[in-house]
A and B are shown apart, each in its own frame.
Chain A
Amino acid sequence: MELLRLSVLGGLLALDGTAVGQFMLSRPLVAGTLAGWLLGDAGTGLAVGAVLELYLLVSFPTGGARFPEGSTATVVAAGTAAAIGGPGALPLGVALGLLWGHLAGATVTLLRRVNARLVPGPETAASDVHLTRAHGVAVVLDFVRGTLVTGSGLAVGRLALGPAATAWPLGREDSMALVLVGGVVSAGILLHDFGGVRAQRVWFLAGLLLGVLVPRLL
């Protein structure tokens, strides 16, 4: 029942990713919290979501580009991490999420190929009814895709990562540091996108100072 609920959540959030709304409920920060909340462990869900958000900061659903799907990946990662527990839950969940995000991205590409056959083109004798039906079916297919991708990811995660979590040798703090280091690359990429160090050095250094000092003063 728990797997089913999480899978449906994955399907719904996958819709928000591209097909319906794009309110960014599908971003890892939100998806992780929702998945964790469904499992009664919103804290772990948010921790996984925050780390994956850091990784996926620079991954956007632009046009026809192939991108890792953050929504289903985060539900898989948070659902797995909350289930296996222990210091290894975070790194193992995040690693599975990163891997599953790419697989999920491939299924998005596949669905877009299916949609190309499904929806009528301008050369066809399509009517408004035909268009409405095809558009609706495409949205339903995306939901089904997201649900299946999430369900299979959760099944793989729980079967394969349980033993790995038991044997995980690092402590909680080192495990967090391990996944943060990879995510910090995205922060560098983002500064690059915002104009780079040379152009934004005053703003960047001011932020750096605030980031170090403010948490210590609070």
Chain B
Amino acid sequence: MSVLGRRTAVATFLRSFVVQGSWNYNTMLGSGFAFALLPGLRRIYADDPEAYQEAVRRHLEHFNAHPYLAGIALGATLRLEDEGAPPETVQRFKAAVRGPLGSLGDQLVWATWLPLVAVVCLVLYWTGAPGLWVVACFLVLYNVGHLGLRIWGLRTGLEAGRNVARRLGGAGLDRKALRLHPVGALAVGALAGTLAGGRGGLAEVGWSWAAVGAVAFVVGLVWGHRAWRPAAVMTVGVVVVISLLGGLP
């Protein structure tokens, strides 16, 4: 870790938790990224305050990545700066990694890990597990993956520097996400089974509710994300209509 050292790595890691603190439509993660780099840049340019401020300004440019994987870019950027790479090289590196770090993180975390853990915990809830246990299970299970990914990301970036793309490819995060899909399908099946036919499920309230639930499930399955907003709007609409009908004399 050369001039950077363990303390700088820890400071960068902690700052990576607020990397989206000033997310905006001009530079997206850019300002948060520069903010997280400050301890490292201060160390690298300790003897040259002018060069330090210049480096801060350079890193205020547009940048985007999944927040949990931003540590990979943070670590690799610090390593490049530490090695004295020309600003254009650092800029090109950041431009090259921002797309993959965004899409990979979205696929792995938002589209796989988060819903998988949430569904497992919803199944626990609707099968009668104690509430506190459900919430604790969700937070612990989710954050084991979350924190593990953040720690691995920053460490990989600091170690690999400009070769981080190769390390990222070798880690096979996209394949890992795909490997979780059958587990996700199993969990969704368990959730659907619990909600429809489990104890206190829709079928026990009335078979007509179970039938409507089955139709709703198929609508989501066929339409995908296009079905989400209409379903939410319809729920709100039906609740409003029932409220108004209930208020009639």
Contact = CB atoms under 8 A, between A and B. Distances in A.
Contacts of A2: none
Contacts of B106: 60, 62-63
Interface string A184-200: 11111111111111001
Contacts of B17: 20-22
Interface in A51-73: 53-55, 57-64, 68
Contacts of B240: 95
A156 interface: no
A116 B24 contact: yes
A135 to B, nearest CB: 5
A177 B216 contact: no
Interface residues of B, number: 106
Contacts of A136: 21
Given A180-B195, A188-B220, A209-B193, A200 B125 contact: no
Interface stretch (A5-13, A122-130, A147-155): A122-130
B190 A211 contact: yes
A64 to B, nearest CB: 7
Contacts of B191: 187, 207, 211
A167 B125 contact: no
Nearest to A102: B232
Contacts of A181: 202, 209, 212-213, 216, 235
Interface stretch (B76-84, B154-162, B178-186): B178-186
B4 interface: no
Interface stretch (B5-13, B131-139, B164-172): B131-139
A200 B115 contact: no
Given A134-B31, A167-B243, A208-B193, A186 B221 contact: no
A211 B116 CA distance: 15
B86 interface: no
24 contacts: A19-B21, A24-B138, A29-B134, A54-B122, A115-B24, A115-B31, A118-B24, A120-B60, A131-B60, A139-B18, A169-B246, A176-B205, A178-B242, A181-B213, A182-B216, A188-B227, A190-B119, A191-B189, A192-B221, A192-B224, A200-B182, A211-B191, A211-B197, A215-B126
Interface of A: 18-25, 27, 29-30, 33, 42-43, 46, 50, 53-55, 57-64, 68, 88, 91-92, 94-95, 98-99, 112-113, 115-116, 118-122, 124-128, 131-132, 134-136, 138-139, 142, 163-164, 167-170, 173-174, 176-197, 200, 203-216, 218
